[in-house]
Structure 1
Amino acid sequence: MTFDDIRHIALAWPEVEDGSSYGTPALKVRNKMLVRLKEDGDSLVMPGVPPDERDMLVEHQPKVFYFTDHYRDYPTVLIRLSKAKRAAVEPLLRRRWRTLASRKAVRDTDATASS
């Protein structure tokens, strides 16, 4: 995957917009960070992943998911896009979007998906 793939997925959802964070491309929902590209150009910084879930992801797919000491105390996982598959990343991305988007946007998206 690439950051453009992530953009393509996320920009299809309401309230997602391009932005930047720490000088790198980011996607935001209502001015809150959905994800950002890490400075290495290959890793995605994915906030909103509790440490226990992050540890499980890292244990099961260490080539895809990891974290550095900097993120150890934060609910964040790093994703190597060059090793990632959409099926592993999209559910995390969608869940993060659902926590940031307005209730109406989530409701409308759910209604459209079920029809």
Structure 2
Amino acid sequence: MSVKRGLQAEETWNRLVGLATSWPATAATTSYGAPSLKVDGRMFARIRAEADDMFVFVSTPEERRAWLESGEPGLFAEPHYERFGHILADPSATDAAILNDLLDRAWELTAREKTRAARDET
């Protein structure tokens, strides 16, 4: 963990890691030199290396657009992520339930069908 990371962001990230790693085939690891979560070996959420207090979630362009139009505080996009559809979240300004929803949906979009089925069975 980076020294720059705020305590609230670190606590929030740790909570999301605890939730996600209870799901099948999910591991806490690193991507692009920053803490991340992977399912089936593919990244679905990470701490943005360029700004320690921001989280990046896998999304679709359509879902990202809907989230941004919802006016939910703390959610934003940057040109770098346009082609991926990823959405960024400021954990100090985003409701915990919204972060949970983003994490869950990012996992669903990234997990293989067999892995999704295994989670649905539990």
Query: TM-score if structure 2 supplies the norm length?
Result: 0.78
* Equivalent AA in structure 1 for residue 75 of structure 2: F
**Pair 1:45-2:41 in alignment:** no
Please say if residues 30 and 36 of structure 2, whose CA atoms lie closer than 8 Å, have aligned partners that are also in contact: yes
% same residue: 29
Q: Deviations over 1:25-47 (max 9, x none)?
A: 00111210011101212111112
Match of 1:66 in 2: 76
Q: Secondary structure at the match of 2:92?
A: helix
Please say if residues 24 and 118 of structure 2, whose CA atoms lie closer than 8 Å, have aligned partners that are also in contact: no
**Pair 1:23-2:33 in alignment:** yes
* Alpha-carbon offset, residue 62 of structure 1: 5.1
Structure 2 CA distance for aligned equivalents of residues 3 and 106 of structure 1 = 22
Gaps of 5+ in 2: 1-8
Aligned CA-pair RMSD: 1.9
Match of 2:45 in 1: 35
Structure 1 CA distance for aligned equivalents of residues 114 and 94 of structure 2 = 31
Task: Map 1:1-115 onto structure 2 (within 5 A).
Answer: 2-39=12-49, 40-47=51-58, 49-61=59-71, 63-112=73-122
Structure 2 CA distance for aligned equivalents of residues 104 and 62 of structure 1 = 32
Structure 1 CA distance for aligned equivalents of residues 78 and 121 of structure 2 = 38
Query: TM-score if structure 1 supplies the norm length?
Result: 0.82
Q: Which moved more, 1:1-10 or 1:91-100?
A: 91-100
Please say if residues 58 and 64 of structure 1, whose CA atoms lie closer than 8 Å, have aligned partners that are also in contact: no
* Alpha-carbon offset, residue 109 of structure 1: 2.1
Structure 1 or 2: larger strand share? 1
Structure 1 CA distance for aligned equivalents of residues 72 and 104 of structure 2 = 21
Structure 1 CA distance for aligned equivalents of residues 108 and 63 of structure 2 = 17
